[in-house]
Structure 1
Amino acid sequence: MKTTLTVLLIIQLYGLASCAIKQHYFIDQKKTRPQARQYCNASYTALSTFLNDIEKQLFLKYAVSQTSDAWIGLRNVDSSGWMWQGNRPATDVSWNVGEPQHDCAILPTGDDKLSTRDCFVALPFFCMTVTVNTVMVQQSESWEGALEYCRHHHDDLASLSSSRSMTDALSKITGAQTQYVWIGLRFLAGGWFWISGDDLILNVWSSAGPPQCPAQNQRCAALDKNTQTWTPRDCEEKLNFLCK
């Protein structure tokens, strides 16, 4: 059983407005919170989140149709406190009386405030898909130059953290004037990360996995339009790029 919610959000990032469409799905299957997160990452975009009061009210308006307490994308991270999935701090959470008691948040049935459960209890859950417009920029810049351009003219370099966003990107790069196209994936402090904070779950590397110790001049990732895979490139190389 799935209950669908479509929400049009106006997001302010770097002083610019952009449109993103969130679709939420109530998944009536019982899974632990880690299992629910894995399911949503694989089949949708992520566990559902509502990062501000506007998102919350729009989500709750439709979430009342849920048939059971359900996991959402909010959990307590020891070193950082309560975080929404994608490493976004939860600054204003409305808890039920006596909460939080555990490390993983749920939306109780018919409630507008959150509670918590042990993360390994099996419950239904909310998944979401997030669709953000991807823009192909036929201008050649270094990775840092591309980042600056995207943040000035759009929102950010594109994060291809889901199958849906990857498919969208592949449809856009056919018009690229360079074989490789910058994306918002960077190696820093011993690991690869999306600059948006999205989880690095999807694996579309040209090798078996992300390069563990890339050379100093191979620490920015690009999308290869010929092989349709991610590959490490010299950050100073001048390439076309994808913005969101």
Structure 2
Amino acid sequence: MMWSLLFMSLISLMLIPENRTWLDSLIYCRDHNMDLAYIHDNETQVWAELELQNSTSPFVWLGLHYTCTLGFWFWVGGHPLQYKNWDPNEKGANECDMSVAINKDNQYWYSKPDNETFNFMCII
């Protein structure tokens, strides 16, 4: 009994295999009582990688967005940006109208223009 408890997780991610802009993805998740996914540690990253296997787009939107007004990246759910998995050559472009999408093939994060359309991941 104790052994099985070690592998239980409270992380519940859901891939939505529809191509939408970042804002439309956020609205979809919230209209369905969820939020765009946030990744706060390696365990959540691994769960996201499992969900990515069913993606029909090369990238999948996450809930990380850049605010020009304040000049930093933030998770839409209000969670602090502590864990990062940027592509080593990326590091997150600090530009307006950019959000983060995770690459289906290498699982690294990339900053992408908000108006591009990809599948997206919600957190329940």
Alpha carbons of structure 1 residues 198 and 208: separation in structure 2 relative to 1, 3 Å: farther
For the pair 1:173 / 2:74, whether they are aligned, the reply is no
For the pair 1:205 / 2:86, whether they are aligned, the reply is yes
For the pair 1:192 / 2:73, whether they are aligned, the reply is yes
Q: TM-score by structure 1 length?
A: 0.44
Alpha carbons of structure 1 residues 173 and 154: separation in structure 2 relative to 1, 3 Å: farther
Partner amino acid for 2:57? T
- Matched with 2:111 is 232
1:237 Cα offset (Å): 0.7
Alpha carbons of structure 1 residues 176 and 197: separation in structure 2 relative to 1, 3 Å: same
Note if contact 1:192-1:210 (Cα within 8 Å) is conserved in structure 2.
Answer: no
- Matched with 1:150 is 29
1:230 Cα offset (Å): 0.6
Matched residue count: 116
1:226 Cα offset (Å): 1.0
Q: Which runs of 5+ in 2 are unaligned?
A: none
Alpha carbons of structure 1 residues 130 and 200: separation in structure 2 relative to 1, 3 Å: farther
- Matched with 2:61 is 182
Alpha carbons of structure 1 residues 201 and 208: separation in structure 2 relative to 1, 3 Å: farther
Alpha carbons of structure 1 residues 212 and 235: separation in structure 2 relative to 1, 3 Å: closer
Q: Please tell me the root mean square deviation across aligned C-alpha atoms, in Å.
A: 2.1
- Secondary structure at the aligned position of 1:136 is classed as strand
Note if contact 1:131-1:165 (Cα within 8 Å) is conserved in structure 2.
Answer: no
Partner amino acid for 1:168? W
State the alpha-carbon separation in 2 of the partners of residues 136 and 154 from structure 1: 15
Q: TM-score by structure 2 length?
A: 0.84
Note if contact 1:181-1:242 (Cα within 8 Å) is conserved in structure 2.
Answer: yes
Cα displacement string for residues 60-102 of structure 1 (whole angstroms, at most 9, x for unaligned residues) = xxxxxxxxxxxxxxxxxxxxxxxxxxxxxxxxxxxxxxxxxxx
Note if contact 1:136-1:243 (Cα within 8 Å) is conserved in structure 2.
Answer: yes
Note if contact 2:90-2:110 (Cα within 8 Å) is conserved in structure 1.
Answer: no
The alignment-based identity, stated in percent, is 25
Cα displacement string for residues 149-207 of structure 1 (whole angstroms, at most 9, x for unaligned residues) = 00111410000111111110000011101000000000002001111122211120013
Q: Any runs of at least 4 consecutive aligned residues in structure 1 with deviations exceeding 6 A, and if so which?
A: none
- The answer to which structure has the higher strand fraction is 1
Note if contact 2:93-2:111 (Cα within 8 Å) is conserved in structure 1.
Answer: no
Alpha carbons of structure 1 residues 212 and 177: separation in structure 2 relative to 1, 3 Å: closer
State the alpha-carbon separation in 1 of the partners of residues 120 and 74 from structure 2: 17
State the alpha-carbon separation in 2 of the partners of residues 142 and 225 from structure 1: 17
Partner amino acid for 2:118? L
Relative contact order (C-alpha < 8 Å, sep 6+): which is higher?
A: 2
1:209 Cα offset (Å): 6.6
